[in-house]
Amino acid sequence: MKKLMLVLLVTLLGMSVQAQDKNEVKKNKNAKYEISVNGNCGICKKRIETAAYSVKGVKSAQWHQDHHDMHLILDENKCSIDDVHKAVAKAGHDTDKVKAEDDVYDKLHGCCQYERL
């Protein structure tokens, strides 16, 4: 009788664990974002896109010099948009959410030093 109860208990626990896994919120594997990133030139473009691609989960990153915006596609299961903001700021470029540290910005090439607000 004890073995039967143990088997039933283990079975019920296994079913409840499976139900919890199915109820988790699934994140978008191809989430699209557009963020504002300050920069001036082709060197900036390369640095900004390289910083974005350094974040695991970023599938596409295209910075547009004329509009100062970056179009992103990322896997939200692997990273968040905040991770990208932080990586770009760490490379010396202000985003609409995260400002680059002054000492990092000061190390940018002269043509890459954009007007900071």
CATH number at residue 85: 3.30.70.100
Backbone angles phi, psi at 80, to 5 degrees: -120, 165
19 pLDDT above the threshold of 50: no
Q: Encoding tokens for residue 87?
A: 């990586």
In a domain, 37, yes or no: yes
In a domain, 113, yes or no: no
Q: Which amino acid is it at 93?
A: H
Domain count, the chain: 1
In a domain, 99, yes or no: yes
In a domain, 91, yes or no: yes
In a domain, 79, yes or no: yes
In a domain, 26, yes or no: no
With contact defined as beta carbons under 8 Å apart, do 59 and 23 qualify?
no
Per DSSP, what are the bridge partners of residue 72? 33, 61
In a domain, 51, yes or no: yes
Owning domain of residue 75: 31-107
17 pLDDT above the threshold of 60: no
Q: Which amino acid is it at 75?
A: D
95 pLDDT above the threshold of 70: yes
In a domain, 18, yes or no: no
Residue 14's pLDDT band (boundaries 50, 70, 90)? low
Please give the DSSP secondary-structure letter assigned to residue 30. T
